């Protein structure tokens, strides 16, 4: 019973291409997150969203944008892919609202993007 689904497990794109990474959750969670994971750097927060159409920059938003038109879907967009965006991208969701401090993140399986 997969709860956070990332549309592509592996992608190979060329420099300059526009790339869409899709994430869908079926748990009615308010919060959704996009991270990239690189060896030695851990998970770095790109963008997060706490409600439909709401988005906040994380620690490394440059070169990325996001879209959240529906509660269950959070898309990460690379407007013009570059080789330094080659990475593993992890989507996560989490129930929010009052008294939600202890709620854990549920992660997708990840999308490994290679930009040539």
Partner 1 sequence: AQKITQTQPGMFVQEKEAVTLDCTYDTSDPSYGLFWYKQPSSGEMIFLIYQGSYDQQNATEGRYSLNFQKARKSANLVISASQLGDSAMYFCAMREGDGGYQKVTFGTGTKLQVIP
Pick the closest to residue 78 from 34, 37, 110 (CA basis): 34
- Would you count residue 1 as binding partner 1 (CB under 8 A)? no
Binders of partner 1 among residues 8 to 67 (CB under 8 A) are 30-31, 33, 35, 40-45, 48, 50-51, 56, 58-59
- Would you count residue 115 as binding partner 1 (CB under 8 A)? no
Please provide the size of the chain in residues: 116
The CA distance from 79 to 108, in Å, is 22
Structure tokens at 38: 């690189």
Mark residues 57-86: x for contact with partner 1 by CB under 8 A, - for none. Answer: -xx---------------------------
């Amino acid at each position: 019973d997969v709860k956070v689904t990332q549309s592509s497990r592996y992608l190979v794109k060329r420099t300059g291409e526009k790339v869409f990474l899709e994430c869908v959750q079926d748990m009615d969670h308010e919060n959704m997150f996009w991270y990239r994971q690189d060896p030695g750097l851990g998970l770095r927060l790109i963008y997060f969203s706490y409600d439909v159409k709401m988005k906040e920059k994380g620690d490394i938003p440059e070169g990325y944008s996001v879209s959240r038109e529906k509660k269950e879907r959070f898309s990460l967009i690379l407007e013009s892919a570059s080789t330094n965006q080659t990475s593993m991208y992890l989507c996560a969701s989490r129930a929010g609202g009052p008294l939600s401090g202890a709620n854990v993140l549920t992660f997708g399986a990840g999308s490994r993007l290679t930009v040539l």
